[in-house]
Amino acid sequence: MNYLVNNFNVVAELFLQHLQLTLAVIFFSLLIGIPLGLLLARIRWLRGPVMSVLGIIYTIPSLSFFVLLIPIFGLGTRPAIVALTAYAQLLLIRNWLVGLTTIEPAVLEAARGMGLNGWQRFWQIEFPLALPMLLAGIRLVALSSIGIGTIAAFINAGGLGVLLFQGVITANYSKIFTGALAVTVLSFAANYFIRYLEQRAEFRIYGKRI
Amino acid sequence: MTIEMISSSAETIETPVSESGEIVFEHVSKTFATNSYPAVDQVSVRITAGDLVVLLGPSGCGKTTLLKMVNRLYEPDRGKIWIGGKEIHTLPVNELRRQIGYVIQQVGLFPHMTIQKNISIVPRLLGWEEKRINDRLEMLMQLIGLPVSYLPRYPRQLSGGEQQRVGLARALAADPEILLMDEPFAAVDAINRERLQTELIDLHSKLNKTILFVTHDVEEAFRLAKKIIVMRAGKLVQYGSPLELVTQPENEFIEELVGSNNILRKLSLVNVNSILKARENQSFYTSKFQPVEKPSTVLHPEDDLRSVISLLLCSGKDSLPVKDSEDQLLGMVGYSDLREMLISNLPSE
Ligand SMILES: Nc1ncnc2c1ncn2[C@@H]1O[C@H](COP(=O)(O)OP(=O)(O)O)[C@@H](O)[C@H]1O
Ligand SMILES: [Mg+2]
């Protein structure tokens, strides 16, 4: 605890870095994952191959993935964001796809029959109905990025992992403890916040159920 | 025989100049890629504006496929469809669909939208003003018999029957000339189904929309239809009024389907008034008058002969007086009339 009290500014800055990294990963994951998921929802035969590729990416050990990307993206946050975004696709798309494909067919048929065009069907019907699952996916992405993101400190991406690595090298247990505590707080906060959004989205569709 | 019939019905289809609610199918065929047989096979038929027409036939005979080609959820391989004299492909597809109400068995209400939003979705797409939408909402709720306090509720808070009423209101929201209904009451329990059927008849007589109603339920078809299109294996087998189907079935399939041999069904399709009229034509109605000693049971011109039988049986008499709404005696009708009616061909209405 001593470490946290004496170096609050340092810890706060690393905390913010970690948050930024996580937000960047969520942003880029959505940028790729939402259209890709939509594509898979429309074109059934693409699902198998794409999901297996994402599965294979997900199994690459994180430290080696970071290091492998250094020749392309150099050191720092860029290879970290790229690797974490690549991992995130499996978690995000699997959930988003479930959300999109479990919408009652009658609902979509009614929407088509009433003359909503593709864009209107997406924004007014499919997106809100698949939103709880999308948020569940985002929550998993956030939690896994916060966790694996600590390792990214190894390639100079900053974040709370810095405290852990430095603490281990210098055998500073107070530093290690502070780092671990801060990561845990961030994880809990992210989990709680996104779960709250999820419940709100669910409530609109299913009513009082949770 | 069916081939002859189709070619003859095709001749009756001339250049389609018509009222906006008219639907014309001309040699419409559709085969799904996964099937070797056609789902709809050379169907030609003209549906008069304002009629409630039922598409009847066993499951898998192509009713849904034919219906969905009207609002272009399916595209025909061959043939043309006109509504109100316009070939349906001359309009942008979504514009066409917004002009046609569509009701399906599973209702398909949007679960994340209130009843109000569900119903007003097409008017909103069409850019109606808020005031007009609200007036319309109120009017529609009254029409389907639900309180306006339901407007802020969600579909999950309504019973199955209520949801289907909302589905109907949603389809009617932008005041379309044509309503397509695909087995809308099939998933509703028997009591509610009958109520919904009655309401639909009522609503049809008020609104004068062209309604194309799909069902595999013969009873339902006979309750609702002004005219019935009977389909089998993708082909139109017969198109006629319920009475025509019963009295002049095109073939054994129709005979079996509609129960042409069913005396009670025959009787239920004719009312007292047509007996009185038939008698007028033969001008022997006065001879049927009998002295009356204050009978308690009275028939009305609009009673069907099926209920006449039960009234006769209950009263224990051989004939009963017919009175109009002003209590004016119109004549007597009894067992002998029913017998005559069944022996001779039934009069058309
Ligand atoms: N989307 C589809 N894809 C392939 N075959 C279909 C499709 N829809 C209907 N069919 C087939 O077309 C035929 C007619 O089906 P349908 O119009 O649904 O009949 P109905 O509504 O009278 O029960 C059936 O043989 C059915 O299996
Ligand atoms: Mg069907």
Give the count of beta carbons closer than 10 Å to the beta carbon of residue B334. 17
Give the number of domains in chain B: 2
CB contact under 8 A, B73 and A113: yes
Give me Rg for the CA atoms of chain B.
23
Comparing CA positions, the residue from B232, B327, B187, B242 lying closest to residue B38 is: B232
Comparing CA positions, the residue from B64, B283, B284 lying closest to residue B180 is: B64
Q: Is residue B187 part of a domain?
A: yes
Judged by DSSP in three states, A50 sits in: helix
At residue B17's C-alpha, the angle toward residues B16 and B18, to 5°, is 105
Of A113, A128, A206, the CB nearest to B71: A113
In terms of pLDDT, which residue wins out, B216 or B327?
B216
Instruction: Give tens-digit pLDDT for A159-191.
Output: 999 999 999 999 999 999 999 999 999 999 999
B189, pLDDT greater than 80? yes
Comparing CA positions, the residue from B54, B48, B64, B45 lying closest to residue B6 is: B45
| Residues B337, B341, B347, B349, CA torsion sign | positive
Provide the β-strand partners of residue B239.
Answer: B229
Comparing CA positions, the residue from B216, B197, B113 lying closest to residue B158 is: B113
Q: Is residue B3 part of a domain?
A: no
User: What residue's CA is closest to ligand 1, atom 25?
Assistant: B60
Predicted local confidence at residue B9, as pLDDT:
44
B285, pLDDT greater than 70? no
B296 and B255 co-located in one domain: no
Which of B95, B110, B118, B172 has the highest number of chain A CBs within 10 A, making it the mutation to test binding with A? Answer: B110
The beta strand positions in chain B, using DSSP E, are 23-30, 40-47, 52-56, 78-83, 86-87, 100-104, 178-182, 210-215, 227-232, 235-240, 319-323, 329-334
Which range is most confident: B15-29, B67-81, B332-346? B67-81
Q: Which one of B259, B275, B302 terminates a domain?
A: B259
B46, pLDDT greater than 70? yes
B95 and B154 co-located in one domain: yes
Q: Is residue B8 part of a domain?
A: no
Confidence of residue B297 (pLDDT cuts 50, 70, 90): confident
For the segment A44-72, the average pLDDT, to the nearest whole number, is 94
B241 and B308 co-located in one domain: no
B33, pLDDT greater than 60? yes
Q: Minimal Cα–Cα distance from B311 to chain A, Å? A: 46
| Residues B117, B123, B126, B131, CA torsion sign | negative
Q: How far is CA B319 from CA B98, B261, B278, B285, in A?
A: 54, 25, 17, 14
For the segment B146-165, the average pLDDT, to the nearest whole number, is 95
Confidence of residue B251 (pLDDT cuts 50, 70, 90): confident
Comparing CA positions, the residue from A25, A17, A62 lying closest to residue A143 is: A25
Q: Is residue B7 part of a domain?
A: no
DSSP 8-class letter at B93: H
Contact A179, A4 (CB under 8 A): no
B340, pLDDT greater than 90? no
Confidence of residue B16 (pLDDT cuts 50, 70, 90): very low
For the segment B26-41, the average pLDDT, to the nearest whole number, is 96
Predicted local confidence at residue A77, as pLDDT:
92
Provide the β-strand partners of residue B213.
Answer: B54, B181
| Helix A8-42 × helix A47-59 angle, to 10° | 160
Q: Which two tokens stand for residue A118?
A: 């593709």
Confidence of residue B260 (pLDDT cuts 50, 70, 90): low
User: What residue's CA is closest to ligand 1, atom 4?
Assistant: B32
CATH code of the domain in which B336 resides = 3.90.1280.20
Residue of B35, B63, B182 best suited for mutating to test ligand 1, as the one with most atoms within 8 Å of CB: B35
Residue of B30, B31, B32 best suited for mutating to test ligand 1, as the one with most atoms within 8 Å of CB: B32
DSSP 8-class letter at B299: B
Q: Is residue B286 part of a domain?
A: no
Q: How far is CA B28 from CA B1, B40, B314, in A?
A: 19, 7, 51
B26 and B136 co-located in one domain: yes
Query: What span, in angstroms and rounded, lies between the C-alpha atoms of A142 and A25?
Result: 8
Which of B65, B75, B121, B154 has the highest number of chain A CBs within 10 A, making it the mutation to test binding with A? Answer: B121
Comparing CA positions, the residue from B46, B67, B59 lying closest to residue B233 is: B59
B288, pLDDT greater than 70? no
Domain regions of chain A by residue span: 2-206
B254 and B298 co-located in one domain: no
B58, pLDDT greater than 80? yes
Q: Which two tokens stand for residue B129?
A: 């003003």
Contact B319, B310 (CB under 8 A): no
Confidence of residue B293 (pLDDT cuts 50, 70, 90): low
Q: Is residue B197 part of a domain?
A: yes
Query: What span, in angstroms and rounded, lies between the C-alpha atoms of B144 and A108?
Result: 24
Q: Is residue B233 part of a domain?
A: yes
B207 and B79 co-located in one domain: yes
At residue B314's C-alpha, the angle toward residues B310 and B318, to 5°, is 85
The tally of CA atoms less than 13 A away on the side-chain side of residue B206 is 13
Q: What are phi and psi of A115, to 5 degrees?
A: 95, 25
Would you report the helix, strand and coil content of chain B in percent, each value rounded to 5? 45, 20, 35
Q: Is residue B120 part of a domain?
A: yes
The amino acid present at A174, given as its one-letter code, is S
B339, pLDDT greater than 80? no
Q: Which one of B219, B240, B259 terminates a domain?
A: B259
DSSP 8-class letter at B235: E
Atom of ligand 1 at shortest range from CA of B40:
14
Q: What is the mean pLDDT of chain B?
A: 86
CB contact under 8 A, B111 and A206: yes
Domain containing B68 equals 17-259
Instruction: Give tens-digit pLDDT for B308-325.
Output: 888 888 887 888 888 888
CATH 1.10.1740.10 is held by the domain A2-206: no
